[in-house]
Chain A
Amino acid sequence: AQTVTQSQPEMSVQEAETVTLSCTYDTSESDYYLFWYKQPPSRQMILVIRQEAYKQQNATENRFSVNFQKAAKSFSLKISDSQLGDAAMYFCAYRSAELYGNKLVFGAGTILRVKS
């Protein structure tokens, strides 16, 4: 079974600075997808960014980018120019590319605090 590990329970960043959240995963599959989801306090979970394992190029979405290292099974999220609205719980998630096996497997999450 696949597992996702987020080793940082909590991170802090100064407004306008850059922060990197770590994620590692374990799988024997070669084709899969990786995601970062954001869950603000008392609000619904929303997708931040996704990466297909077959793509070598790292995904970017505005201020959010990932560092995908397939051999190391590492998938970190970099948030540039941090804003107060970025404060949330961030979850890394894995999804198999198999047709009927593609539920999301989540890590335990990292709380991100943004200081003004």
Chain B
Amino acid sequence: DTGVSQNPRHKITKRGQNVTFRCDPISEHNRLYWYRQTLGQGPEFLTYFQNEAQLEKSRLLSDRFSAERPKGSFSTLEIQRTEQGDSAMYLCASSLEGQGNSPLHFGNGTRLTVT
């Protein structure tokens, strides 16, 4: 178990640019979640996958955000035409479903700063 890995750890971009983050879940985990966390707040749900299927997207997620999980392994989160309000920590988590109440395991996050 190498844990959930997220890259990059930090990303600074100019407003209007596109950015892409990657998440590698724990290998046997079939569920993968993306959350956004701003300073001093709790994580806010964005979307989640079971295997390669995206099962739920937050209504708060604008059309500029898109996530994929090809082949049910790693996932990418892309933000197009970034805005200053997108500045936040983006957290990825994974879990193994089908075994009852399994907890989410979180990565270290990607901190995005939009200037």
Interface residues of A (CB under 8 A from B): 4, 6, 33, 35, 37, 43-47, 50, 52, 91, 93, 95, 100-109
* Complex contact A103–B45 (CB within 8 A): yes
Interface residues of B (CB under 8 A from A): 4, 33, 40-45, 48, 50, 55-56, 91, 93, 97, 101, 103-109
Contact of B42 among A33, A44, A50, A106 (CB under 8 A): A106
* Complex contact B108–A44 (CB within 8 A): yes
Which of A45, A52, A105 has the most chain B CB atoms inside 10 A of its CB? A45
What B residues does A95 contact at CB under 8 A? 101
The 10 closest A-B pairs by CB, nearest first: A106-B42, A45-B106, A47-B103, A44-B108, A103-B45, A108-B42, A106-B43, A33-B101, A44-B106, A109-B42
Measured between alpha carbons, how far is A87 from B25 in the docked complex, in Å?
27
Measured between alpha carbons, how far is A102 from B33 in the docked complex, in Å?
11
A-B contact pairs, 14 of them (CB 8 A): A6-B42, A35-B103, A43-B108, A44-B109, A45-B43, A47-B103, A50-B101, A50-B103, A91-B43, A100-B56, A104-B93, A104-B104, A105-B45, A106-B42
What A residues does B48 contact at CB under 8 A? 103
Contact of A91 among B4, B42, B45, B97 (CB under 8 A): B42
A68 to chain B, nearest CB (A): 14
B2 to chain A, nearest CB (A): 13
What A residues does B45 contact at CB under 8 A? 103-105
Measured between alpha carbons, how far is A108 from B40 in the docked complex, in Å?
7
Measured between alpha carbons, how far is A106 from B43 in the docked complex, in Å?
6
B56 to chain A, nearest CB (A): 7
B26 to chain A, nearest CB (A): 13
What B residues does A107 contact at CB under 8 A? 42
Measured between alpha carbons, how far is A35 from B33 in the docked complex, in Å?
16
What A residues does B101 contact at CB under 8 A? 33, 50, 52, 95
* Complex contact B55–A100 (CB within 8 A): yes
B41 to chain A, nearest CB (A): 6
What A residues does B50 contact at CB under 8 A? 100
Measured between alpha carbons, how far is A6 from B72 in the docked complex, in Å?
35
